Amino acid sequence: MSKKIKSISNPKLHLEILSPYDVRKLHDATLNIIENVGIRFPSKKALQIWESNGAVIDHEKMIVKVNPQIIESAIKNAPPTYNLCARDSQQDLPLDGNHVYAGTDGCGVEVIDIHTGERRTSKLQDVADVARVADATEEVAFHWVALSAQDKPVETRGLYEMKAIWENSTKHLQTESIYNEREAKVAIEMAALIAGGKEALRKRPVLSLMQCTAPPLGHDGGSLDASLLAAEAGIPTGFMTMSSALTTGPATMAGVLAVGNAEVISATALLQLAFPGAPVFYAAAQTASDLRNGAYTGGGPEDFLFGAATNVLSDFYDIPLSMGSFATGAKEPNWQAGIENSLSTFMASISMSDMLLGLGFLHGSRIWSYAQMMMDAEIFSIIHKTLQGITVDDETLALETIAKVGPGGNFLSQKHTLKHMRDLFLPEFMDRRPYNEWEEKKDDARDWALVKARNILANHEPDPLDPKLSKELDKMIAAEEKY
């Protein structure tokens, strides 16, 4: 199976969604929020760092107010580019602003069983299975923990999930399900084992960490402590805002961007104050809550606009972005899923968001579907092709060939055609058959996508993790469990 990773680079299409003036206004609003409203940092360590750097602290409420200069100079220490490394170094991902990579989404609680089609509670084997399928899928560049290993104890669940992914794939792992200091400590030791020691891990981070903010304008204590440990170890760390218009953010989109930006930038500044130069990234999945039931929608035009706008912000701060796209709110792979996942991913890709999360989910990142995963991969491929745009030069204008064929002929048997036909996009899951052929079978993309995933799961053998390392990982998890 191919070790290739498909990423979007050198796009020919462009979009101006925010003017430099807009970005400046958003930045000023963000600094204003951090300085005057404050951000909640419920972590002793975090509060100490803020205090020693001159922030104003309300210890009882654990709210920090910070002078704009402190934030601005701290953020400047963040490296603009670095690599997310993989067990297989051919699969390293340079976060250099000229690549868009897609990952699997996470962290869901149910899975549509690949064999029976039944929806059921997720377990550790599902984490391993998704990782194996993702390993063979070139549109997947890195992993999130797709599903929660709910058959494992809560104290070590995140560690089991990491091990399962490393055992089934050579690609980079970004976990979003390690959010306390105790588990983070072991996770970092496990990553060091995979990388070949602590210094090797710093040079080649095979693990990155994603933490959610606690909106509006707050953070989770466990997440902060875990991120500080990761930053100290040189593990790329990002904070994700899921600020949502109406509920955790204002009803206006600019307001949502400002609130979310204040959450992300304040935590990013904290990491830079503690460990200047630590690799960090911006993460976001803003949305609009549904007007009727307040639900996090994970789709709709607001999402598409946030998807394109956020990379303009992260570019302003000169740090990579991990952007929520895909992740439809649809209950099954259908019209809504197609629209939401295509448009959100197109908009996030055209502004060159570095990482996209992610493939495979239904019902707002709750229910994993292998069929949806494969169709999401095709959506990514379609956008990959679209963003290449149209090349106009002597070769592509094909004047000689046009002259040869002349009026009334066709281009099927031309050498120029043979040379370039593979530039055309060949879909795997679009129905271009004659009508009667469809009428006989009445099957569609969902059926074909599922068959593809089943084949991969049955046949793909990922490069195995050294059994000695596996055993060591087991020991580390067992030691933590006893503790």
Partner 1 sequence: MSTELFKKMAQSIIDGDTDVSVELAKQAISENIDPILAITDGYVVGVNTVGEAFAAGDAFLPELVMAGEAMKAAVATLEPEMTKRGTERKMLGKVVLATVEGDIHEIGKSLVGTMLTASGFQVFDMGVDVSSAKLIEKVKEVDADILAMSALLTTTMVKQKEVIDLLDSQGLRRKVKVMVGGAPVTRDWVQRIEADGYSEDAIGAVKVAKELLGIS
Binding residues (CB under 8 A) for partner 1: these are 42, 107, 109-110, 120-121, 148, 150, 154, 157, 179, 214, 218, 220, 246-248, 251, 289-296, 364, 366
Q: How far apart are CA 30 and CA 26, in angstroms?
A: 6
State the minimum distance, in angstroms, from the CB of residue 382 to partner 1.
30
For residues 222 and 307, which CB has a smaller minimum distance to partner 1 in the complex?
A: 222
Query: Nearest distance from residue 211's CB to partner 1, in Å?
Result: 12
Long-range contact set of residues 58-67: C-beta below 8 Å, sequence gap at least 24: 63/38, 63/39, 64/38, 64/39, 64/40, 64/266, 65/34, 65/35, 65/36, 65/37, 65/38, 66/34, 66/35, 66/39, 66/266, 66/269, 67/35
Label residue 118 exposed, middle or buried (CB < 10 Å: 0-12, 13-18, 19+). exposed
Query: Given the complex with partner 1, which of 153 and 389 has the nearer CB atom?
Result: 153
Helix, strand or coil for residue 429?
A: coil
Q: Read off the amino acid at residue 268.
A: T
Residue whose CB is less far from partner 1, 103 or 221: 221
- What the block records as the tokens of 327 is 């992740």
CB of 210 to partner 1, least distance (A): 14
Q: How many residues does the structure list for the chain?
A: 483
Q: Tell me the C-alpha to C-alpha distance, in Å, between residue 324 and each of 218, 286, 355.
A: 20, 8, 8
Dihedral angle computed from the Cα positions of residues 338, 341, 343 and 348, in that order, rounded to the nearest 10 degrees: -160
| CB of 135 or CB of 161, closer to partner 1 | 161
Min separation Cβ 148 and partner 1, Å: 4
The CB-of-248 to partner 1 minimum distance in angstroms stands at: 6
Residue (152 or 452) nearer to partner 1, CB: 152
Q: In what order do the strands lie in the sheet with 119-121?
A: 119-121, 110-112, 367-368, 361-362
DSSP label at 234?
Answer: T
In the complex, the smallest distance separating the C-beta of residue 291 from partner 1, rounded to whole angstroms, is 4
Residue closer to partner 1, measured from CB, 155 or 443 = 155
Q: What is the residue whose two structure tokens read 């000229």?
A: 98
Which residues, at least 6 apart from 25, have a Cβ–Cβ distance to it below 8 Å?
A: 254
CA 24 – CA 44 distance, rounded (Å): 32
* CB closer to partner 1, 129 vs 176: 176
The residue (of 246 and 398) whose beta carbon lies closer to partner 1 is 246
What's the min distance (Å) between Cβ of 359 and partner 1?
20
Q: How far is the CB of 417 from partner 1 (least distance, A)?
A: 52
8 A C-beta contact, residue 174 and residue 210: yes
